[in-house]
Amino acid sequence: MFKASVTNLRHESNEYVIAKVYVRFVGYVPVKRNTPNTPLEELVRKAPDVFPDPLLEEEAVKLKRGENQPIWLTVYVPKDAPVGNYHGELMLKGLDERIVKVNLKVHDVILPDKRTLKLSNFISPYNISKFYKLTPWSEEHWALLRACARNMAEHRQSSIITPILDLTRIYKGDGCLEFDFQLLDRWINLFREEGIIEIIEGGYLAGRPPRTVEGWWTVPEFLSASYRVLNKDGSLAYVQEPVKVSSPIFENFISQFMPALQNHLEEMGLLDNYLQHIADEPIDRNAESYKYIVGLVRKYAPKIRTIEASTCKQLIDYINVVVPLLDDYDRNMAFYEERKKRGNEVWFYTCLSPTGRYPNRFIDYSLVKVRILHWINFKYGLEGYLHWGYNYWTENPFEDVENEPHHPFPLPPGDAFIVYPGKSGPLDSIRFEVLRDGVEDYEMLKLLAEKRKMDEAVELCNLAVRSITEYVRTPKELLSMRLKLIERLESIG
């Protein structure tokens, strides 16, 4: 067995130590097929093969002679740490023992607590209860949700997708429905307590039929989301199954639920922090159905703003926060820039695409492709980044990184999740660690721009990102530009 441990890092003055220093082994996962439509030079290497990704919680790993075993060091530098050089030791114990010197330089730059980049990785609470075999919303389930919230906050996530219908107790009243938002409040407070404080994204009000239905993606009319209705004594009255959104049943529900939600958010002082999803990734085929739902939401809850991952141009006036795919933004940049001028907030998202020369966060892509995403946020003034897959684990995520259970087609490796299930909470991946590095780069660029040095921030960013498909490809180049950014911030105080 091979073990690794690390000492505290001591300042060159010997009067200060950094104690939060962690060492983790990098694990490998099998990739059966490479990301589609991607030339070999844009890949780490050709599949099938094993690729590094999870950061393991084991204190020791088996290692054969001649094998390489990456080790990942994470250092949390307190704000009051003196600038200068720090030194420590990494102890390696296996067939023999070895000590490796660890050197760290702390610069005179402090990242602000406020997260200006709006970062959203969709969490599935149901995958947590399913994987850990827990009753949904039990205390054990809430404890794991808190661990995930803490993990997200540590990676500077600032927005949380929220399953509002499942977190609302809906009661059958006398001729109307009654709503209890205690669980919703608990969810919001939990994530805010752990540091995710900027945005609450309300889960979908409607969607497509099950993926097993032929042509499910192109259905012309969305179906309502299902919900449970309880009797006053807490017993189940009925489950409202999905109906077409043109049904009077749907409007009857929206006419009661949305005003109650709006009033509750207003009472809690959270209305400005709330964004409502309507139906995932609408297309031209179901645009009229989407418009109809938005019309109902605006009729019954006019103060609630909407957000959606969509490339459908005819819906632009129906979505307040527009989130196009990165390649769609690239191809239609003038269109989205005009929308900014008209008052839309514009983010971008990645999922199964884009691929090829575009950056994305797949396991078989270089880590530069992950980190550069947030330099793109800064260069193009895109205020947020959304991805659907925080923890949509397969049945064995350490062995299968390509298929969500029962998914009708293979996913690019790692698309469905960026953390792994650990014994008592999420395990980081190297992709999630580097994504945070990219977010911190963004915050430093914003910091430089705010210090009345916008031209310098733009110039530095342009060195790294010439266009969305033309950017630095090596860690050495990107880290060199990051160092210039840090030195410039230090020079202006």
Regarding whether 162 and 94 lie in a shared domain, the answer is no
Regarding whether 286 and 179 lie in a shared domain, the answer is yes
Residue 439 sits at the vertex; the CA angle it makes with 435 and 444, to the nearest 5 degrees, is: 145
Residue 375 falls inside a structural domain: no
pLDDT digits (tens, 9 = 90+) for 67-119: 789 999 999 999 999 999 999 999 999 878 999 999 999 999 999 998 999 99
Regarding whether 278 and 168 lie in a shared domain, the answer is yes
Instruction: Give the pLDDT band (50/70/90) at residue 443.
Output: very high
Regarding whether 89 and 8 lie in a shared domain, the answer is yes
Regarding whether 203 and 101 lie in a shared domain, the answer is no
pLDDT of residue 96: 83
Residue 305 falls inside a structural domain: yes
Residue 34 falls inside a structural domain: yes
Residue 345 falls inside a structural domain: no
Residue 484 falls inside a structural domain: no
**Single residue among 262, 297, 323 that ends a domain in this structure:** 323
The residue whose two tokens read 């230090």 is: 490
Regarding whether 169 and 302 lie in a shared domain, the answer is yes
pLDDT of residue 215: 83
- Compute, in degrees rounded to 10, the torsion defined by CA atoms 263, 265, 268, 271: -120
Task: Find out whether 230 and 170 touch, Cβ atoms under 8 Å.
Answer: yes
What average pLDDT does the structure give for the chain?
96
Select from 218, 387, 201, 207 the least CA-distant residue to 279: 207
Regarding whether 268 and 169 lie in a shared domain, the answer is yes
Q: Give the count of alpha carbons within 13 A of 177, CB side only.
A: 25
Cβ-defined contacts of 448-457 (< 8 Å, 24+): 448/485, 448/488, 448/489, 448/492, 451/489, 451/492, 453/488, 453/492, 456/488, 457/378, 457/485
pLDDT digits (tens, 9 = 90+) for 140-163: 999 999 999 999 999 999 999 999
Compute the distance between CA of residue 416 and CA of residue 394 in angstroms, rounded to an integer: 8
pLDDT of residue 197: 84
Regarding whether 318 and 188 lie in a shared domain, the answer is yes
Work out how many domains the chain is built from and give that number. Answer: 2
Task: Find out whether 237 and 230 touch, Cβ atoms under 8 Å.
Answer: yes
pLDDT of residue 406: 57
Regarding whether 91 and 17 lie in a shared domain, the answer is yes
pLDDT digits (tens, 9 = 90+) for 150-196: 999 999 999 999 999 999 999 999 989 999 999 999 999 999 999 99
Compute the distance between CA of residue 392 and CA of residue 166 in angstroms, rounded to an integer: 18
**Single residue among 40, 72, 106 that ends a domain in this structure:** 106
Regarding whether 177 and 69 lie in a shared domain, the answer is no
Instruction: Give the pLDDT band (50/70/90) at residue 211.
Output: confident
Q: What is the mean pLDDT of residues 303-325?
A: 97
**Single residue among 84, 106, 128 that ends a domain in this structure:** 106
Regarding whether 224 and 297 lie in a shared domain, the answer is yes
pLDDT of residue 94: 83
Regarding whether 289 and 171 lie in a shared domain, the answer is yes
pLDDT digits (tens, 9 = 90+) for 353-408: 999 999 999 999 999 999 999 999 999 999 999 999 999 999 999 999 997 555 66
pLDDT of residue 189: 97
Residue 99 falls inside a structural domain: yes
pLDDT of residue 487: 96
pTM, full prediction:
0.96
Select from 114, 125, 158, 127 the least CA-distant residue to 275: 158
Residues 6+ apart with CB under 8 A from 324: 309, 310, 311, 332, 336, 346, 348, 349
Residue 270 falls inside a structural domain: yes
Q: Is the pLDDT of residue 24 over 90?
A: yes
Q: Is the pLDDT of residue 456 over 70?
A: yes
Domain span at 185: 158-323
Residue 17 falls inside a structural domain: yes
Task: Find out whether 110 and 375 touch, Cβ atoms under 8 Å.
Answer: no
